[in-house]
Structures are given as C-alpha cells and as structure tokens.
Structure 1
Amino acid sequence: MSLCLTRDELTELARTPRKAGQVAFLRQNGIRHYLDAHGWPVVTRVAVEGERDQVQSVKTWKSNKAA
C-alpha cells in the first residue's frame, strides 16, 4: 500500500477526473492535500483514512481551583 492515493482512487473519491474539480472537492471537504509540479492534487492516505494505530488517551478531569 502506498503512502498517497493513486489518481484512480482520487478520481473515485472526488467523482471527477478533472484536476480542478478534484482540488475543489478536497478544499470544500477540508481534506489536506498539496499540488504536485503538474498541478495534480496529492492526498496522503492518513488524510483520508486517519491513523490506524492512534491511541486516544482519556484525560481525567482535575480541578485547578485551590482548596
């Protein structure tokens, strides 16, 4: 599995083969991306799928009021 989405995967995600349409879709949906030297959007898998091994710690509430 590669680090970035393929062009076919990006086309399927954005539902358009046009790079301008893909960029507009990514911006409207807040998906982090960058443009390569040819103007095509590049999206990392983490930006779409999230991190799999991410452990969310549960923070306990602690009063900051002096007793």
Structure 2
Amino acid sequence: MSTPIFLTNDEISHLTARKNKGAQIDALRRMGLPFFVNATGHPVVTRAAIEGGFKARQEAANVWTPQVLKTA
C-alpha cells in the first residue's frame, strides 16, 4: 500500500498540537509550512512539505546556470 500524498487530520493535529482548524492554520503559518485550505476550511498539508521534497524541488528550480548556457 502506498503512502497518502496528504497528511491526515490526526497527523496535522499532532504536528500543530491543535485540534481547532483555525488554530491549526495559524500554527502552520507560524511554522512556515506550505498548506492549502479545503472547502470545509481545514488545512491540507502535503507529505512532501514535511519530508523535504517541497524544499528540494524549490532549490532545484533555483539552481544557478551560467550565462553562456542561458543564451545558447
């Protein structure tokens, strides 16, 4: 069985130490973790944001390229 893409509500509660969805959102903002708010107002956090995959993708997108290669 594969790992779900998103954290469960229980995992978000454990991560933020908050049960209330508004307090969870505030905690995630303070932590600087990327998240989305779904239609019910609950925060949705990807596993990649916690495991480092999100940061690794951002860093890969910002890799320096020599000017010579940019104009080729």
Judge same fold: TM > 0.5, yes or no. yes
Say whether 1:42 aligns with 2:59. no
CA distance in 2, matches of 1:37, 1:30: 22
For normalisation by structure 1, the TM-score amounts to 0.74
Q: Which of 9, 15, 18 does residue 16 from structure 1 map onto? A: 18
Deviations 1:18-57 (A, max 9, x none): 0011000000111000000000000000111112xx69xx
Corresponding position of 2:31: 29
Number of equivalences: 54
Extract structure 1 runs of 4+ deviating beyond 6 A. none
Q: Which amino acid aligns with 1:27?
A: R
For normalisation by structure 2, the TM-score amounts to 0.69
CA distance in 1, matches of 2:6, 2:52: 13
Structure 1 vs Structure 2: percent identity of aligned residues? 37
Give the number of the structure whose alpha-carbon radius of gyration is greater.
Answer: 1
Q: Unaligned 5+ residue runs, structure 1? A: 60-67
